[in-house]
Structure 1
Amino acid sequence: MEKYKPVYNLLKNLNISFSVVEHPPVYTTEEADKYIEGIDAVPTKTLFLCNRKKNKYYLVIMDDKKILDMKKLGDLIGEKGMKFASPEKLKEKMDLTPGMVSIFGLMNNTTHDINLCLDRDMLDSKNLTFHPNDNTKTLIIATKAIYKLLKKLDYEFKIIDL
């Protein structure tokens, strides 16, 4: 089954409306943004990170126009040595590959061992964009619907000021 179908099915079961823009495969937010220009939504970037000891994992979601200050993030969450987790850990934890990471990868994290951090600035917008676990599509979804999704997935999160 294509990886986007479980995402669509979950959203439909939760009565969460969304729209989709299809495009060629993209691997960076800059590439993806070209296909959603003019859409009333904050394009997001989702980063899969780990601490220095590689024993805690974090999904950080923020406006893709921002640049993440890893030291500041570490200070905010009480971790040192924050860095990108390996592609192997990404596959193990969320069954995804680089370029496809989004909030919907949490659907595949059955052990619930990923800490979710949402940047406050993007949460003021009406809509957000994410890949639906497939980098040939960009999904536009109401920001408030993300909370409903996270409740269904039984995921807690921190709102941070990056």
Structure 2
Amino acid sequence: MDQSELVEAVSEAGGAAVAPVDLRKELEEFLKRLNIETTCIEHPEVFTVEEMMPHVSHLSGVVTKNLFLKDKKRRVFLVCVRHDRPLALGELSRRLGAPNLRLAEERLLLEKLRVRQGCVTPLALFLDTERSVTAVLDRELTHGGHTHIHCHPMTNSATMGITPADLLRFLEETQHTPVILSFD
């Protein structure tokens, strides 16, 4: 999807087209208002966790894999797990009581979180003012003793680190009390 298609898709989804750099600035301002400190590194644009790992493997903490999913009832979920965690959608569907859980189409992602595939991040939940997205976190992220959780800051050309406590506070401030599941 090129930039003109992105603008059209966001417009059709009922939102205003905003460049990832502007969304990142909005996020940084939101975090600053909450007095949440983060670290951030720039890297080439990446579209998969595998592409990202060479750029972030030196960081202290845990890197996330983030999936934007929907179920048969049209409920939407943002699932964040440790980057190397295998994820069985059938099992997750059962545990969440979400029949026929599957990847959501990019138009729905743009409508709800204003990010494209490859940029999915728990930090985009500050844009879900309708609170229609259920956050699902791997217990390892928040209770695994990691110094930082690393995810994209609204763009896939950077990685932001946030402490587990601050991520939980961020989710609380955005009124997205997460479902925390153990995937061991």
Task: Using structure 1 for the length normalisation, give the TM-score.
Answer: 0.95
Question: What is the aligned partner in structure 2 of residue 29 from structure 1?
Answer: 49
Other structure's SS at 1:35 match: helix
Question: What is the aligned partner in structure 1 of residue 68 from structure 2?
Answer: 48
Other structure's SS at 1:146 match: helix
- 1:116-150 CA distance string (max 9 Å, x none): 11111222122100101011110011111011111
Question: What is the aligned partner in structure 1 of residue 170 from structure 2?
Answer: 149
Q: For residues 87 and 48 of structure 1, what CA distance do their matches in structure 2 show? A: 9
From 76, 79, 96, the equivalent of 1:60 is 79
Matched, 1:94 2:113: yes
Q: For residues 86 and 58 of structure 2, what CA distance do their matches in structure 1 show? A: 22
Q: For residues 52 and 150 of structure 1, what CA distance do their matches in structure 2 show? A: 25
Q: What is the deviation of 1:109?
A: 1.3
Q: For residues 131 and 161 of structure 1, what CA distance do their matches in structure 2 show? A: 22
Q: For residues 76 and 126 of structure 1, what CA distance do their matches in structure 2 show? A: 28
- Aligned-pair identity in percent equals 27
Backbone CA RMSD of aligned residues:
1.1
- 1:10-68 CA distance string (max 9 Å, x none): 11121111111101111111111111122111000110001124x10001000010111
Segments of structure 1 that go 5 or more residues without pairing to the other structure are none
Question: What is the aligned partner in structure 2 of residue 77 from structure 1?
Answer: 96
| Residues 121-132 of structure 1 mapped to structure 2, 5 A cutoff | 121-123=140-142, 124=144, 125-132=146-153
Tell me the amino acid that sits aligned with residue 129 of structure 2.
T
Structure 1 runs of 4+ off > 2 angstroms? Answer: none
> Which structure would you say has the larger Rg?
2
Other structure's SS at 1:3 match: helix
**Structure with the higher fraction of residues in helix conformation:** 2
Task: Using structure 2 for the length normalisation, give the TM-score.
Answer: 0.84
**Structure with the higher fraction of residues in strand conformation:** 1
Segments of structure 2 that go 5 or more residues without pairing to the other structure are 1-20
